[in-house]
Structure 1
Amino acid sequence: MYMHKSVYGTKNFKLGQKTISSMDLVFSDIHADLNALDLIIKTASSDEFVKKYGSFSRIINLGDLLERGIYPKEVLAKLRSLEKNYPIFSVMGNHDEGFLSGKKVSASSLESMDAHEKLGVEDLSFFKHNKDGTFGNQEFIDTKNGLFCVHGGPLDPMKITPKNADGEAWLYQRNWQRLTDEGFEFFSYHGYHYKASSAFGEVGRHIKNHIILCGHQHMEAALVHQGGKIQEIYSKLEPKKEKISGYVLESKEIDIHPTSDYLIRLGLGGPAGYYGVGSSVPHFAIIQYDPKKVMLFTANP
């Protein structure tokens, strides 16, 4: 029989003892944008898409379902509906945590704030309420398929948070971490900025050959760790365009070598979350397992 637990908690999807994961649908930073979520699901479920890429058997949400957009109730309802047919594995985004904890993050309009204030207990039951007062999970680890999924970064907060951080401690959590654009690591009020080498080193303690999946920064990125060296590979990916389900999809394919590690960052899922960073069109990804590859998609009208 099929077995799974509530979203934002640990969740298994089994037939007997065999885990089903033929293909994953992955998205991040929906930001209460119902139209974008509908587009992603409709496109990835369309006959044309399924015929070419296969059908997804589970969904991985990398966080930030809430804030900035104006349809939080509808987005949460859509995901509750989807979990009747698919296991959904989710991690907390910084905006999710900010809203649920009553901490101001940034850049939500009055209309967005009004829509979020109308969310009720039933709506927010989508998020697991932990015994310590926090919400959801900071990471989803799938050792069988070599996945380490986070919103921002995989570093252990206990190792990087100063003892005197006090009220700033939450900005060191995994849902606030971000890949540094500099050659060094540092803290700012945008979170802890980590180097790829630190990310690969941390996750390597959990999974030998792995794929780190994250979002948060609204811009796609891809790096590979192979033979002790780290290379940026996103700029070398050849984009391909095709028309599927009424949209022009631009895809970038990453073949996964079994002895290498990868850090793959998804772009903005919901254009409602656009804040001058990234591209204001929907992004999503799929993970295929035979052969193993990650495909990044951008949907253009």
Structure 2
Amino acid sequence: MSTEVEEREFLRFGPGWIGAVAFAWLVTTLVALALVVYALGPMLQSSDQRKALTEIRAEIGVALGASQSLFGAAPPAKPVEFGRPVAVMEIPALKVRQVVIEGASSGETASGPGHVPGTAGLGQPGNAVIAARNAGFGGPFGSLDALVKGDEIVVATTQGKSVYRVTDTATRPLDEGADYGKTENDRLTLVTSASWWPLASAEATVVTAALEGRPFRPTPQNGKADAQDGRTGDGDAWAGLVLAFGGFVAAAAGATFLYRRWRPVSTYVITGPVLLTFAALAALALWRLFPAWA
């Protein structure tokens, strides 16, 4: 009799059960967040980088062949689409080699450093800005503050190779007007969060570097966008987070029901991966809500 009562109490989806499920979702999501971003994230970013490198190398090869033809390479008629590779950047002092992606939303910076829309093209006249993550998804700019005056930054695009020399490294609040705005000289600005902690992004590490030699001819660039400044999260990720939570609750309800009516081991084997999958999806959605340079 007592067993039946306990079973009925266990299967009741009351406030206690809801609280337990919410707590379990929070814990597993945070664990999944750490695993996805800091363990799986670098592997995902590395895979994206390999694909982007293959693509940009092919584009550079085509541009090189066209430049040696009788009529030369035709200039692009429109800006590069968001998410497409635009350059290969090397920072020898940090042993960093990354493919730069067009766009600086949290989605783009998960794949690599992002060229901030509304700024000059890389290797072209004006101020070109690249934003990248400090810690998440491989943290390509995690050691950005180690750069010193005179360090070299090399950028290769379909137009050719450009060399920049670091002129200043600072840790301070980002001044969007000065750091992202137009400049009299041709320069490269690298920015990232000053902290590895995603919720502590009040200050930035800002590196400026001057272009050596003459810039390449300007090409069409994407305009400025508030969601593409490198430090803004993706508000659309709330929908994914809510759906992942709903899926986790449904899976938890199914696991609770099966636990008393089936073998516990079999229940764990079947429902465990499902719960972890929804937790991982929630972790990815949660990370997209954080600043894109975290």
Asked if these proteins are the same fold (TM beyond 0.5), I'd say no
- Structure 1 or 2, whichever has the larger Rg, is 2
Greater per-residue helix proportion: 2
Normalising TM by the smaller chain, what interval? under 0.3
* Structure whose residues are more often strand by fraction: 1
